[in-house]
Every structure is written in structure tokens, then in C-alpha cells.
Chain A
Amino acid sequence: MTQQVRRFEHGSRVPGWDRAADLEKDPALVPDPDSTLVPAALREEIEAHMADYPERRSAALPALAAAQRVHGWCSPEAIEQVACVMRVTPGYLESVASFYDMLETTPVGRHSVYVCTNISCSLCGADELYAAVQEAAAGDADFNVRAFECLGACDIAPMASVDGVYVGPLTPADVPELLDDVRAGRSVLPEKQLARRLVADPRANTREFPSHPAEGGA
């Protein structure tokens, strides 16, 4: 149930190189709005995103993310709905969805636990942490446990992003409580959330120099 990012044998992100194309099939066209059902809230959100940009295609990422929130993953149905609202082909959206790590192209558990296993976190024990999370969540289909590249929180290494909430530093001993918090719908390990952390620099929050505009300097 934990999944590695699917790759072509050579390790590239180019999808489809490892499966044969069905040459008999016609390419999917832009879905017909009359026969494609799109939940009203999703349609509204996608249309709002499209209005933000000079070109509607720019809304592809936010639109796919929105559809993923509704459907749990970028399923053919989800992609069909986005394609219908954006007036693009499903193939185009699939090419986009398969490029990005956070867009899921297979069904996954509804709670994501991304354990950072990049260099700084691994120096601080992330590989052991990842193994512990994998083991503890094994068999629970609600969890989507993944080893993730640098999440940008090396100051709380080793860390994980649990449904988007950064927590750390974690030890394997924290894992049962972490998963229990998620299962119970509680805030995850509140004491270890990044949001509460102060800047490490002891000189931060001083205003010795240069004079600040509020003090009428310069």
C-alpha cells in the first residue's frame, strides 16, 4: 500500500514508456458538457481558477488538485470532469498529472504521510523513521505512506508531512501516536508541529541596525 513513484525503467518521469499503446483506439476528445456530470462545487472551483490566468490551461494544476480532493485521486472520472470544465483533452491532463508527485494516478489511502528521506533528514535517522511508519501503517488502507524528497523542513529533521501538516523531529517511538491522532481526526502531535517553532537565530527579533522605517531612519 505504500507506493514509490512509478518510473520508467531508466528512472525518468516519462510515463507510458513501459506500456504498449493501443493503436486501435481513437484519442479521447474534449468531453461533451451535456453528457459529463461535474459536481457543481468542483466546477465552480475550477472556473474560479481559470479566471485567475490569462490562459485557461494555467489552471491545470489547481484544477487537478481540486478534483483529487473530491475523488481521492486523479481517476479517469476526475480527469474527465476537469477536462470537461477546462475544455481540454483528458490526455493532456493525464500528461500533466503523471508528472507531479502530489497528483496520484492510482487509488491511494485518504490520509497522506510523506516521510522526508532526503539528505538532511536521513542524516538524522529518516530511513529508520520511514521504516517504522511503513510497518505501523501496514495493512491500513486509509494511509498513503510515501518516502518523499526534501520537504523543506530540515530544521525539524527527521520529519513528515501528515495530510499537509509538518511535524518533527520525529523518532520511531512517535509513530503510533502520530497514526492514532490521524485515525481519531485529532491535530497531529501538536507539540511537534512546525507552525509553533520559533526562528533558530538567537539574534532574530532584534532591531539594532539598520534603523527601521517605522522609527523614521534613513
Chain B
Amino acid sequence: MAAAAEVTGRPILLFADIDEPGLRTLEVYARRGGYESLRKALAMTPEQVLSQLEASGLRGRGGAGFAMGKKVSFLPKGAMDKYLVCNADESEPGTFKDRELMQKTPHTLIEGIVIASYAAGVNRSFIYIRGEYALQAAMLDEALAEARAAGYIGEDILGSGHSLSLVLHRGAGAYICGEETGLLDSLEGKRGNPRLKPPFPANQGLYQGPTLINNVETLATVPAIVAIGGEQYAKLGVETSTGTKLVSVSGHVKRPGNYEIELGIPSREIIYGLAGGPPQGREVKCWFPGGSSSPVLTAADLDIPYDFDSLAKARSMLGSGAIIVVDDSTPILDVALKVAKFYRHESCGKCTPCREGTNWTVKMLERIASGEATPMDLEIMASVQEHIIGNCLCVLGDAMAMPIGSMIAKFREEFEAHIESARLARGLGGAAGSDAALAAQGAFSEHPETQLAHRGTGDQAPGAHEGAPGTHRGGA
């Protein structure tokens, strides 16, 4: 094993050669050392490969950050129909790293899938790619045909006795299908509704069989881990967040794009050093560290190390590794509305807190924008977020509640100022004596749709029932 001193400089694993002309063809990929890791893995026992994955400390790159090796080890042993599903339904707003990998080096993903299937004892696999990624799907199709012809997929791969089928499955546009159990239902040909857990997919997933589900980037990292060894990989990054990570930076930055970073570097280095920071004369107002589902951080948080645990400690999350930067020219209300509308659109409608909560949040934000809201609405809205979190089958609702809750907590003054100025502009007067003003104006008279919803639920406005709204909320 190489000495620690070698672990210096600028580790580039996934993006090495990424723009090499023709890298997506088997010929060039093989010339650059492609499928050597597969040969190496097949020469080991599956247990040895698994122990390499466990030693690497690789955590899932899709959002949850669960240890990949552990996930593989959860699959029951023995001969039965087991499945591996690669989650390529990259839909988290701000995230576009998997797209880059699939488009430029599809064979890395295929090689990773074959190695992972060997370690997990799986013989059937699928790639679920979002339907919008037509170009990437076409390139994967070509790569799959090459890999099949070369014997990297199919029966008795390279004489190892291991067999694997791999089918590319195109989605048709639904964010919820990135949620692993929603994805499984969709792959079974149904509406993409999430399932109750447990049972977890490792026990009962696709077609009721044990199923390993991993993100594209996670699987694409596997060949590199096998190549350099799990222990060596674990030396990259920081203790609980090992390795390198692709980070998609977008929004108000000079050089948006994908960057491969070593986990644990200061966030400032990514936003300013790599992506160039906000345009001239502007400052960072807030940023999402891990896609639009992550609670926002502010300029004061820029020195937080970019890794799983440091961001969790800051009450946010690394998520999918998508940094969205918002500069000081943008009202926070606009950001909140965009985010809330997205989750309202994508809620599958199965669980009430998410279906209703996302909808009411949008309506309350629209009230703020139109000047019909009072500061009390902020409390109600914060309380709605609290009532979504943890109360649904999946975390789609939470994924709206967390960022919206964080925006209310961190930009309360701006929301309040907005409410006040929008009310004045509408001629409704200031917010003083707001409750009376709210009652007098007939809180829901302005929007016919709100009235309908109001009538339909036969209930009062959310938060208006028992207890003072917002009393559950103690800051962030």
C-alpha cells in the first residue's frame, strides 16, 4: 500500500481523461485502462471486493450519504433473484453531475455496475435514467451494446462464472422517481408512488426481490476504488467523508459547472475558488449546499468544510452535491416560491402532509407576494413545515419543508419587510393589529382556488386549529 505522503496534490478520479475525445467508446476507454478494474475484481472473491468497498468508506452520492459497502452487505446471501438498480433519475434541482459522467464516460458506470453486482451476488441489473436525458441514454445504449459484444455484460463474464444482464430503462419525467421506492414502482411499470418502509429494498425491492440501489456517481467510483484499493481511497477526503466528490455549482456564479473536489475542503474554495463567486459587485446572500432540498446556508457559513458531517452539523446537508448560489440582488421570497412550487408540482399526492403542505406553502407565499399576508402567516407557514417533516412515506415533503423552514428562520426580517411593503402597496395598511385586519378582509377571499380548497377540506386554515401557530418552532 502506498505511503500516506503520496496522498497529496489534486486527486482527480472520476474526471481524469473526461474530455478525451472518444472516451465514451470502448476502444478509447479500454486504451485508458478501462475494464482493468473489472478484471482485477473478478480475480478476487466477491467477499474481497466487498471488503474493499467497505474499507473505502464510500458514502452514497445520491443524497442520503449511506455507506455503500454496508448497503451491499445488507443483501441476503444465497441463490435467489436479486437485483441491482442504478438510480440515474438525476432530478434534484441544481444537480447535473451524473449527466456529465453518463455522457462522457458511460463505460465507467457500466464497469462499476458489473463490479458491484459481482460483490453483491446479483445477476440482473437496471439503469433507471430520467426520460429527459435523451442524449445520455442514447450514449449509454451504444456503450451497453459495445460492452455486451465484448463480454463485459452477459453470461460468464470474462470466464469468471459471474453473469449479469443490464437493461437501460427510460423514465418519463417525475422527480419522485428519484426516490428509491418510487423508482422501483416506476420500474415495475406503475405510477411512481413511494412505498412504506420497512421492508427496505435490500430485503424486498424490485419484483419483491432483494435490491441494491445506488446512484450513478457512487457506482462510477467503484472502478477507481478497486484500482487503487479501498484503504488508499479512504485516505482521500476526511475521516467520515472519504474520497472525491463531484460538485455541481450553479446559480449566481461566474463559472457554473461540475468540479471534482476532495471532500472536506472549505465551501468557499468551491464557490469562489473554482466557480468564481457571484458576478462583479455582488455578494453571496444564501446558498444551497446539496440541491434545492437542503436547508440554505448564508455567507457566514462559507468556511464550513464541504463534507457530509460538517454540513449536517451546520443543520444542512451535502445531499446530491449541488451548490446553488443566490446573490444579494434576489429577494428571498422569489427563491422560496420557486422551491415551494417545484415540490408542489412533484408531490405524488399519496401522503396528505406533503400533498397539502406543499400546496398551502405556495399559497401562503403567494399571499406574501400579493400583499395579503400578515406576519402571522410566517408562523403558520413555519408550523406547516414542521408538520410535514417525518410524517410521510418519503422525504419529498421534507425536502420542501427543510429549505423553506431555514429561509423563514434565517431571513425572517426580510420576509416581514416584504409583507409590510406589499401590504402598503396594496393599500391594506401596515401589519399592526394584523389579526383583526386579517379577519376583516376575509382571509381567503382573494383566490377562488383557495376558497375551493378551503371548502373542500371543511377545515380552517392550517395552523388555525388548536394552540398558537408556530409555537412548536424554536428558531432553525
Contact = CB atoms under 8 A, between A and B. Distances in A.
Indicate whether A and B interact: yes
A12 to B, nearest CB: 3
A1 B358 CA distance: 27
Contact of B135 (A9, A60, A114, A166): A166
A64 B94 CA distance: 29
Contacts of A206: 10, 12, 16
Contacts of B346: 149
Contacts of A142: none
A76 interface: no
A213 B33 contact: yes
A123 B96 contact: no
Of A11, A102, A198, most buried by chain B (CB within 10 Å of CB) is: A11
A120 B453 contact: no
A208 B12 contact: yes
A9 B306 CA distance: 41
B130 interface: yes
B383 interface: no
Nearest to A164: B134
B132 A151 contact: yes
A214 to B, nearest CB: 3
Interface in A105-157: 114, 118-120, 122-124, 148-157
A41 interface: no
B124 A54 contact: yes
B166 to A, nearest CB: 10
Contact of A205 (B18, B134, B207): B18
A22 interface: no
A151 B99 CA distance: 10
A102 B172 contact: yes
B10 A209 contact: yes
Of B187, B189, B334, B339, most buried by chain A (CB within 10 Å of CB) is: B189
Given A102-B131, A204-B19, A211-B228, A155 B92 contact: no
A14 interface: yes
Interface string B177-196: 00000000011111110000
Nearest to A204: B15
Nearest to A169: B256
B348 A13 contact: yes
Given A5-B345, A12-B355, A218-B232, A155 B258 contact: yes
A13 B347 contact: yes
B169 interface: yes
Contacts of B95: 150, 152, 154
Contact of A214 (B7, B33, B207, B250): B33
B98 to A, nearest CB: 8
A61 B104 contact: no
B324 A119 contact: yes
Nearest to A123: B251
A166 B228 CA distance: 36
B191 A95 contact: yes
Nearest to A60: B189
A148 B342 CA distance: 10
B258 A11 contact: no
Nearest to A198: B19
B251 A199 contact: no
Interface in A45-70: 52-62, 64-65
Given A149-B345, A152-B132, 13 more contacts: A14-B349, A54-B207, A58-B169, A60-B190, A64-B172, A100-B172, A119-B342, A152-B95, A154-B94, A164-B132, A209-B7, A209-B12, A213-B36
